[in-house]
Amino acid sequence: MHQHAGEQRPQQFAAPDPNTTLLLAATGGYKAFRMAKQAVIRAKAKSKRQHPWARRIGLVVLAIMLGLFLSIIAFRFVNPPITPVMVAEKLRGTTLKYRFVPLESIARDLPLAVIASEDGRFCNHWGVDWAAVKDAVQEARKRGRGFRGASTIPMQTAKNLYLWTDRSYVRKVLEVPLAYLLTIFWPKERVIEVYLNIAQWGPGIFGAEAASQHYFRKSASQLTRREALLLAVSLPARDGASVLIDAGANADNRPEHLLQFGYMGSIFAEEILEIEEPEVKLLSIGEEPDKGNRLTREAHPLLVASGLRFAGNTESRDLLTGAADVVVCDGFTGNVVLKSLEGTIMTVLNSLREEMLASRRGKVGGLLIRGAARGLKRRLDPDTYGGAYLLGLRGLLVKAHGNSSRTAITNAIALGARGVSGGVVERLAGRLGDHAGLRR
């Protein structure tokens, strides 16, 4: 059959080339991949525009963590020039006393005394004493109060070096990883060396060298065992320490007993507290010599003629502001005064806390004075001291409260160890025989 003019023949197509089909498929896949990639980039850019703060916060946190890590490695070899606690003290207008000295320039008894009183398992744990943490948690639940205690020397070093002094669960949680890092990258000798040099021993006093110069007028390398023990448990007071004698050992007394208390308290202040010519006063209801009951009126002339630096009567309202170096009273009165002061102090502190938490303005104000308030509580808390020596015995005895907490018992044991090492009994016995009034 022949094709007529103007009639078109059907178009013939060749079979598709396999290579061409593969090329087209690859090209389409690549275009799809590029489109998907651009979509992801656009989504990330949009997310950055919508939440720029998230990325910045992440970078800041990463920079802080990196800085902490690098500083821990650096402080293994370089002594810290300053700490946040020092900065806070400086901002409050306190004059800083700080000088870093190597561990070899600190009397050997001081680190031993600090380890014994603050972290008995320092040589065995890796930064955190979990057994002590467990005990502290159980005690907090039992006594119905906040978690306290269980801080090891690495944890306290981390706190002093990087954190703040206010007690809080946040700070406690942050101490744990920092303590582990310090223990991993530092030898134990470096940990105790840094701790002894940046610990605060009083207002503006940082480090063992500054504390030794301030309290004993000598270098830390020249500290005696007794002085090292005193530093290990030293606590700043508003106007220095006072001896209240008797505080409950003898409920019924005669006038000559109060004279004997004056001698014993004065000798204790001289020998143990290192107070030269301590001032002695008699606790009464008025400053006049004829004020008081029969006991105080008859004891007054005995103390006047005793040869002690007797300065007359004092009233209980002046006890916390430094009424005298030694305050003499009968045991019944002393015990009532002691427990009244403890109860009043705790009531005032708890009432202050309740008022601060009662309103939003109070909470803001509480945050501003939080550090000072907690420092005051630690200084006035009876648990801080643990107990008191019972003078006049042939052996050493520390009397603690019947309801003493774990912290109080720990501090009472430290006080006993300090008394044994300091020779309290022997030194008192050597001086007591010199006074005829004690042989009545």
Q: 75 Cβ partners below 8 Å, 6+ apart?
A: 161, 186, 194
Q: Which CATH number does the domain housing residue 226 bear? A: 1.10.3810.10
Question: What CA–CA distance (Å, rounded) separates 347 from 238?
Answer: 20
How far the first Cα of the chain sits from its last, in Å, is 159
Provide the 3-class DSSP secondary structure of residue 72.
helix
Q: How many domains does the chain have?
A: 2
Question: What CA–CA distance (Å, rounded) separates 162 from 68?
Answer: 8
* pLDDT tens digits, 141-172: 665 555 555 689 999 999 999 998 776 778 88
Tell me which residue range forms the domain holding 255. Answer: 243-439
In a domain, 410, yes or no: yes
Do residue 195 and residue 265 come from a single domain?
no
- State the average pLDDT for the chain: 77
Residue 235 has pLDDT above 50, yes or no: no
Do residue 193 and residue 266 come from a single domain?
no
Say if CB 311 and CB 281 are below 8 A apart. yes
The angle formed by the CA atoms of residues 424, 428 and 431, to the nearest 5 degrees, is 150
In a domain, 247, yes or no: yes
Note the pTM of the prediction, 2 decimals: 0.49
Do residue 102 and residue 149 come from a single domain?
yes
* pLDDT tens digits, 180-221: 999 999 999 999 999 999 998 877 889 999 988 887 889 999
In this structure, what is the dihedral angle of CA atoms 192, 195, 201, 203, given to the nearest 10 degrees?
170
DSSP state of 244: E
Please choose, from the candidates 204, 197, 200, the residue with its C-alpha nearest in 3D space to the C-alpha of residue 95: 204
Do residue 225 and residue 250 come from a single domain?
no
Residues of the chain with pLDDT > 70, as a percent, come to 70
Do residue 298 and residue 349 come from a single domain?
yes
Residue 354 has a CB neighbour count (10 Å cut-off) of 10
Residue that terminates a domain, selected from 183, 204, 232: 232
In a domain, 47, yes or no: no
Q: Across residues 431-437, what is the average pLDDT?
A: 58
* Residue type for position 76: R
Complete DSSP assignment for 3-18: PPTTPPPPPP-PPPPH
In a domain, 35, yes or no: no
In a domain, 269, yes or no: yes
Please choose, from the candidates 136, 113, 169, 85, the residue with its C-alpha nearest in 3D space to the C-alpha of residue 413: 113
Do residue 165 and residue 262 come from a single domain?
no
Say if CB 219 and CB 210 are below 8 A apart. no
Say if CB 285 and CB 318 are below 8 A apart. no
Please choose, from the candidates 148, 176, 146, the residue with its C-alpha nearest in 3D space to the C-alpha of residue 162: 176
* pLDDT tens digits, 80-131: 999 999 998 888 888 899 999 999 999 988 888 788 777 878 888 889 988 8
Q: What is residue 164's predicted lDDT score, i.e. its pLDDT?
A: 84
Do residue 210 and residue 301 come from a single domain?
no
Q: What is residue 57's predicted lDDT score, i.e. its pLDDT?
A: 83
Q: Which CATH number does the domain housing residue 319 bear? A: 3.40.718.10
Residue that terminates a domain, selected from 232, 258, 275: 232
Do residue 287 and residue 434 come from a single domain?
yes
Do residue 213 and residue 353 come from a single domain?
no
In a domain, 423, yes or no: yes
Do residue 276 and residue 415 come from a single domain?
yes
In a domain, 2, yes or no: no
Residue 341 has pLDDT above 90, yes or no: no
Please choose, from the candidates 199, 195, 173, 261, the residue with its C-alpha nearest in 3D space to the C-alpha of residue 440: 261
In a domain, 385, yes or no: yes
Question: What CA–CA distance (Å, rounded) separates 196 from 80?
Answer: 12
Q: What is residue 187's predicted lDDT score, i.e. its pLDDT?
A: 94
Q: What is residue 406's predicted lDDT score, i.e. its pLDDT?
A: 72
Question: What CA–CA distance (Å, rounded) separates 190 from 275?
Answer: 35
Question: In angstroms, what is the C-alpha Rg of the chain?
Answer: 36
* Residue type for position 25: A
Residue that terminates a domain, selected from 232, 261, 277: 232
Do residue 407 and residue 273 come from a single domain?
yes
Do residue 250 and residue 390 come from a single domain?
yes
Question: What CA–CA distance (Å, rounded) separates 95 from 270?
Answer: 29
